[in-house]
Amino acid sequence: MRSARMTIRSQLAWYWRWLLNILMMVAVGGIVWWLVQNSYRITGFNHDEAREQIAALGEENRGLKRDLETARSSLTERDRQLQIEKASQSELARSFTQLQDENAALKEDLGFLRNIMSSGATPEGLGVSNLKVESDGRPQEYRYRMLLTQGGQRKQDFKGRIQVVAHVQHRDGSASLTFPEAAAGDAAGAVDFRFYQKIEGRFRLPDGAILKSVDVRVLALPGGQVKLSRTVNMP
């Protein structure tokens, strides 16, 4: 009979195997640690330089934020100044328009007075010229102006007051509004002259009222007798 073949193997003890494994793990860990610590040499990456660049970028970002806030503040201030300048220009344009209107009215009054002086006589009693009623530029506000004269013997000054009756149309129908109101008394709209007097005034209508015509009356004081009345139809 043929005997069984036997194989003889050398076998390390378990503690040697564990020691060998630990040494291999330490060697691998050392290699990995060395690669991590010296990666900048291999890849060209520098931690200190990267930190400096990050710090520089952070400072630049903060500087840009400060510049942005400064620019925003400057823009806000410029917008405010621009609004002020626009309001000033609008007010100047309005004042210029008013001055032009007043200048034109003065020229008309001066022309009328020159005609009176050249003719050497004025109409007997009270007279009115250059009567105008027009919008004042604001909603529902109107202004009127005229030149009152007194002809004849002119023995004494004329004392009275101006009364404006506005005939309006609104949703409830037609109505007449008197300015100044009776509660204002005789002192409101008072006139006192011997030869002539320039009259200017304003009145405001209620919202929604449409002005159709205006009666301008000159009342004598005391008594309130109507001495002169003129009607202006609005377009």
CATH label of the domain that carries residue 127: 2.60.40.150
- Write down the H helix ranges in the chain: 14-37, 39-43, 47-119
Best CA proximity match to 160, nearest among 230, 229, 222, 214: 222
Q: Is residue 20 part of a domain?
A: no
Q: Is residue 27 part of a domain?
A: no
Q: Is residue 13 part of a domain?
A: no
Residue numbers of the domain that contains 93: 45-120
Q: What is the pLDDT of residues 18-67, one digit of tens each?
A: 888 888 888 888 887 877 666 655 565 566 777 788 888 888 888 888 88
Residues 116 and 126 in one domain: no
Which of 120, 150, 171 is the last residue in one of the domains?
Answer: 120
Q: What is the pLDDT of residues 138-183, one digit of tens each?
A: 889 999 988 888 876 666 888 999 999 999 998 888 999 999 876 6
Q: Is residue 215 part of a domain?
A: yes
Residues 111 and 140 in one domain: no
Q: Both ends of the chain: CA-CA distance in Å?
A: 146
CA atoms within 13 A on the CB side of 105: 20
Residues 126 and 227 in one domain: yes
Residues 72 and 145 in one domain: no
3-state secondary structure 199-215: EEEEEECCCCCEEEEEE
Residues 114 and 128 in one domain: no
Which of 69, 91, 120 is the last residue in one of the domains?
Answer: 120
Distance CA(132)–CA(103), nearest Å, equals: 14
Residues 214 and 129 in one domain: yes
**How buried is 112 (Cβ within 10 angstroms: 0-12 exposed, 13-18 middle, 19+ buried)?**
middle
Residues 114 and 142 in one domain: no
Residues 153 and 113 in one domain: no
Q: Is residue 179 part of a domain?
A: yes
pLDDT for 218: 92
Which of 59, 90, 120 is the last residue in one of the domains?
Answer: 120
Q: How many domains does one find in the chain?
A: 2
pLDDT for 235: 83
Q: Is residue 175 part of a domain?
A: yes
Q: What is the pLDDT of residues 95-129, one digit of tens each?
A: 887 788 777 777 776 776 666 555 555 556 788 88
**How buried is 20 (Cβ within 10 angstroms: 0-12 exposed, 13-18 middle, 19+ buried)?**
exposed
Is the backbone peptide bond immediately before 123 cis, with ω within 30 degrees of 0?
no
C-beta atoms surrounding 116 within 10 Å: 18
Q: Residue type for 79, please?
A: D
